Amino acid sequence: MLFHTWVFLVFFAVVYPIYLVVRKYNRLMNLWLMIASYTFYFGWLWNPWYLLLLFGTSAIDYLMVLVMERSQKRKRLWLIIGLVSNFGFLGYFKYSGFITENLNILLGRLGSHWILPNPVAYANAALSLFGVPSSHFFSEVILPIGISFHTFQSMSYTIDAYRGNIQTERSFIRFLTFVSFFPQLVAGPIERASNLLPQLQSTPRITGEHITDGLSLFLVGFFKKVALADYLAKYVDQVYEAPGQFQTPALILATVAFAWQIYFDFSGYTDMARGIARVMGFRLMLNFNNPYAATGLGDFWSRWHISLSTWFKDYVYFPLGGNRNGTLATYRNMFLTMVISGIWHGASWTFVIWGVLHALGRIVTRDLERTRFYREQVPMFVKQILVFTFVTFTWIFFRAQSLADARLIVTRIFSSGWADPQIPLLMVTLVLAVWAYQLLYTNALTTRRILELAPVRVGLMILMITYLMIVAQPSTKAFIYFQF
């Protein structure tokens, strides 16, 4: 159930009025939101197994925190059980195929005749233990949509409770709602219990500003997704599906287009998610803050997928030691965090390399970014271009369908001809307009003031609505990050 489809409009038209009535009764409100969220999730694949998985991971985390509170001496054990179960589900559904495939290649190279079975065999073996006939067995392991998001959200609660940073949530229904809250269930922002749970514990206040802000957020997100991301995807897809047929300009422009596509796609989704939550009186965190206006790689990661980067910082980087144990250890911790972040995105070597490149980039530039020369002598626009260039280069590995394709693209960018890239001028114009807007918004207070003038804001909204209604074609193309 995509936000920009008619079916979501119907769903929300049913959920919202009832929510407005029941929100004054906290138990009822949470129950209603939980039912709505589980319905929303069920609407993706009409598969009850995924509901069971969502319920199961939530229930385990809820229980672990309860027993942690009652048995302080063994709370580490309960934490480990919680983490193992979360990572177990995530590992099985997301990484088991990748691991099996690579282990089988390794075993083959070692001359072994032993081959690991398709991971679905383990699930089917478990089913057979319960007497389920083979006609009901699964044929493949299907990645449940948004598993990485809701698992991480649920896990953060367990870890924060273990650390004593949050109070134990006693209401099971409220906790289920926290994990499954439909605006951000399938692609974030990955909310912390410290932000969302207190909002679920009281009656959300809905003011006129919440409604207008929610509408603004939703419309901007809708425009990013439908008018920009889906449009860019058309060019990117045709180049990346057959990179051998394209030359340097097309490959470079398709990569730049993908950099914007993924930004518009993902930030568009979170804008819509935040907008929907806002009209319900909930405040979800800002997930993207003009990342292509970043002046350093550290700055980039404080602007890109903020809810995930802060998650990794809090639950991976700091537990590893952060920057407390000297330069070498800091670099090691940064490296590990970035590589794990890469793997989080998908079970493929391309994501690993993407993570490694960002880790290396961050390590190499960390000290440079701190120098007075970089901070004061290098013009801001130059820094922004440098960061954008590096980040865009890494997107090649993120988008390429395989490692071989990524290698081919990089090679061809530097060695093929200069054929006409045939990129639509309308596409280039739209991207340049958005880029210029972001730079004007972030780079100087004076230009930001101009953008904040009512005629400019209203004029832009009217332009976006007109474009959406006449030019753009609403599609049912899924969001890129749903696959993670």
Partner 1 sequence: MVMPDTTRTNPSPPSEPEAPDFSNAIRLTGKEWIGVGIFTVALILGAAPLAERLEKFEVEPDYRMPYDLSNDYWLYERYSRLAASQYDTLIFGDSVVWGQYVTREQTLSHYLNEQAHEQRFANLGQDGAHPVALAGLLDHYAGGVTGKNVILQCNLLWLSSPKHDLQIEEEFHFNHPRLVPQFYPNIRCYKEDFSPRLGIAVEQRIPFLGWTTHLQQAYYDKTDIPTWTLDHPYDNPLQVLKQGLPPSDDTLRHNPISWTKRGIKKEDFPWVDPATSLQWRSFQRAVNLLQKRGNRVFVLVGPFNEHMLTDKSLNDYEKVKAAVTAWLHDRGVPYAAPPPLPSESYADASHPLSDGYELLARQLLELVSP
- The catalytic site residues sit at 345
For residue 190, give the amino acid letter. Answer: I
Reported as half-sphere exposure (CB side, CA atoms, 13 A), residue 300 has a value of 22
Q: How many CB atoms lie within 10 A of CB 44?
A: 17
- Our CB check for partner 1 shows the closer of 393 and 437 to be 437
From its phi and psi, is residue 43 left (phi > 0), alpha (psi between -120 and 50) or beta? Answer: alpha
For residue 245, give the amino acid letter. Answer: Q
To partner 1, the closest distance from the beta carbon of 249 in angstroms equals 12
To partner 1, the closest distance from the beta carbon of 385 in angstroms equals 20
Q: How many CB atoms lie within 10 A of CB 315?
A: 18
Give the SS3 label for residue 2. Answer: coil
What angle do the packed helices 172-180 and 26-45 form, to 10 degrees? 40
**Cβ contact 313:450 at 8 Å:** no
**Cβ contact 178:169 at 8 Å:** yes
H/E element, 131: none
d(CA 36, CA 112): 51
Distances from the Cα of 328 to the Cαs of 105, 157, 313, 334, 369, in angstroms?
Answer: 34, 31, 17, 10, 18
- Our CB check for partner 1 shows the closer of 94 and 358 to be 358
d(CA 103, CA 24): 54
The structure tokens 């070692």 sit at: 110
To partner 1, the closest distance from the beta carbon of 31 in angstroms equals 19
To partner 1, the closest distance from the beta carbon of 268 in angstroms equals 12
- Our CB check for partner 1 shows the closer of 46 and 130 to be 46
The token duo for 115 is 């081959």
- Our CB check for partner 1 shows the closer of 407 and 477 to be 477
d(CA 449, CA 281): 28
- Which has the closest alpha carbon to 251: 262, 267, 240? 240
To partner 1, the closest distance from the beta carbon of 462 in angstroms equals 6
To partner 1, the closest distance from the beta carbon of 283 in angstroms equals 7
**Cβ contact 230:471 at 8 Å:** no
To partner 1, the closest distance from the beta carbon of 453 in angstroms equals 9
Distances from the Cα of 478 to the Cαs of 230, 460, 471, 482, in angstroms?
Answer: 9, 26, 20, 7
- Our CB check for partner 1 shows the closer of 8 and 388 to be 8
**Cβ contact 292:438 at 8 Å:** yes
What angle do the packed helices 147-163 and 48-70 form, to 10 degrees? 10
Q: Supply the Cα-derived Rg of the chain in whole angstroms.
A: 24
Q: What is the DSSP string of 440-472?
A: HHHH-HHHHHHHTSHHHHHHHHHHHHHIIIII-
Give the SS3 label for residue 480. Answer: helix
Q: How many CB atoms lie within 10 A of CB 466?
A: 10
To partner 1, the closest distance from the beta carbon of 65 in angstroms equals 14
To partner 1, the closest distance from the beta carbon of 443 in angstroms equals 13
The token duo for 440 is 């004007």
